[in-house]
Chain A
Amino acid sequence: MSKIIKAENVSFSYEGDTPEERVEVLKNISFEIEEGSFTAILGRNGSGKSTLAKLLCMINLPDSGRLEVDGIEVTREDVTEDEIYEARRDVGMVFQNPDNQIVATIVEDDVAFGPENLGIPSEEIRKRVDGALEAVGMSEYARHSASRLSGGQKQRVAIAGALAMKRKCIIFDESTAMLDPLGRKEVMKNILRLNKEDGITVLLITHYMNEASLADRVIVIDNGGIIMDGRPSEVFSEVDKMWEAGLDVPQTTELLQRLRDAGLDVPKDIFDPAECAAVIKAALADRGCAI
């Protein structure tokens, strides 16, 4: 599997009014993202995770270190604007606020905005837009006004916008944070589908542990550095470390951890509530408690 993103010792700081006021947000971060993978990035507010997303989309470029996106080294000294533009074609981003990323009034016009920017012929855009709206289940809203959609529907339109550009990698920067549970569910369903079926690399920045538990890999960022990196079960099993980073663990993990602390023999890496109930029941039955 090839790596779509390679970051080596990447640092970034926001400029203050004086050199002393510079805020270092990311400190020597190194990681690689495999093409077609599903990675969740966790971290408390101000940990630098959104800044990282902005670097990966090349909205900002790192101060130091080496960043390679889809084979293009964007941190090279003599990198041209066209090269960055090329790299940006492959990495899309869906933002937190659904209202502030929709450009056009009509749903299908908004989905077409990206492909139009790429200079794709009209008939091809039409095909892509129809396909993308179909993929997120929004075909019947194609001619609707975007402002009348629900938050979840708007985010699906934003996803369609990224799909229509045939992106290899989509970064979701807390895209479900402003949605109600139903909207969150429908957006997550779409994210999972495009990762599993279309093989699109997904980077999910989130506060919701149950969303992160669906990923293949979880990266935890705190204070501008990566503090944990691994499969969800590995990362979440270190409950104390997670708490230290100001994060929760999935409720099932917390429950199982407390049960283990109390001396009950249960596994700790189960995220599905039904499955969790089943193991607890089995463990209790082992101890001779009939339910």
Chain B
Amino acid sequence: MNFDVAFGQYCEGDSILHRLDPRAKIIMSLLYIVDVFLAKNVFAFALLTSFTVAMAVLSRIKPRILLRGLKPVIFIMIFTGVINVFWYRGAEGAKPLVDWWIFTIYPAGILNAVLIVLRVVLLIAGTSLILTYTTTPLALTDGLERLLSPLAKIKVPVHEFSLMMTIALRFIPTLIEETGKIMDAQKARGASFSEGSLVKRAKALIPVLVPLFASSFRRADELAVAMECRCYRGGKGRTRMNVLKATFKDFAGVIVIILLGVSLVLLNKYTDAFALGF
């Protein structure tokens, strides 16, 4: 596994989604989030779902990986689902489906629960498809820096933030390796990291974290000297080897997401008559 470049969720690939300009993808995922909240009825959701599935197919990312990304939010999905099933009544005077003891379930409640859970699923799957699964963290930082560069005019240190991100990403594998070494060294002196109570295990990590912290400072110092030696003096007057160039497909991508939003609004409006319980 290419761990260091693939830090985060990035999946190697060469699909159209992978090849889009990171700036376009950042804008697209923001617009997509808006789109997801624009969908109000079954038809709009149907369109949104098919669009997201189409993106998944285009990205050639395995459904298994996509589903794995949903795992952390399973609890939220169940929770919101259950709440909606029991508390949503729908239109005034609707007949309950089940009415037993303190449980009253309306048909609209079930539909609403399904749609809300679907919304969470689409939100996560869609944004990860556009952004995190198909963009390397580096490209992402680069895109963010370029997108935010106008802020530099009002003295926001955009370049510095982006460099911090880059260096952090660069040093993650190095520090992981070092942590392993220190843990081995402590184990060789009889430290145990997997036994005892939670508090005991947490305490056992202190002799690992302190040297790791100390060595990070030394590394930072050396890196700063090395950077100065390589004529680094901030973002001013710097050029870039790889200049991002937005092409037709990047604009097309953004327009597609906008059109999706427009269609959702129209669907909400003109199919409302058929909507069930909304």
Contacts and interface: CB of A to CB of B under 8 A. Distances in A.
B167 A106 contact: no
Interface stretch (B126-134, B181-189, B196-204, B223-231): B223-231
B68 interface: no
B170 A102 contact: yes
Interface of A: 54, 57, 59, 85, 88-89, 92-93, 95, 97, 99-106, 108-109, 112-122, 125-126, 129, 145-148, 161, 165
A104 to B, nearest CB: 6
Contacts of A101: 222-223, 226
Given A105-B169, A119-B238, A100 B226 contact: yes
Contacts of B230: 92, 103, 113-114, 117, 161, 165
Interface of B: 2, 4-5, 138, 166-167, 169-170, 173-174, 177, 218-219, 222-223, 225-233, 237-243
Given A97-B222, A101-B223, A104-B170, A116 B240 contact: yes
B219 A95 contact: no
Given A125-B241, A145-B2, A145-B5, A99 B174 contact: yes
Given A103-B223, A122-B243, A114 B170 contact: no
A197 to B, nearest CB: 23
A119 B239 contact: yes
Contacts of A114: 230-231
B231 A59 contact: no
A99 B222 CA distance: 10
Nearest to B6: A145
B168 to A, nearest CB: 10
B222 A95 contact: yes
Contact of A115 (B2, B177, B222, B241): B241
B228 A121 contact: no
Nearest to A171: B229
A133 to B, nearest CB: 12
Nearest to A129: B241
B241 A147 contact: no
B144 to A, nearest CB: 16
Contacts of A165: 230-231
B276 to A, nearest CB: 51
B222 A59 contact: no
A198 B233 CA distance: 28
B34 to A, nearest CB: 32
A148 B229 CA distance: 24
22 contacts: A57-B229, A59-B225, A85-B233, A93-B226, A100-B226, A104-B138, A105-B138, A106-B5, A109-B242, A113-B227, A116-B238, A117-B230, A117-B232, A119-B237, A119-B238, A121-B239, A122-B240, A122-B241, A122-B242, A145-B4, A145-B5, A147-B177
A6 to B, nearest CB: 20
Given A105-B169, A129-B241, A147 B174 contact: yes
Contacts of B219: 99-100
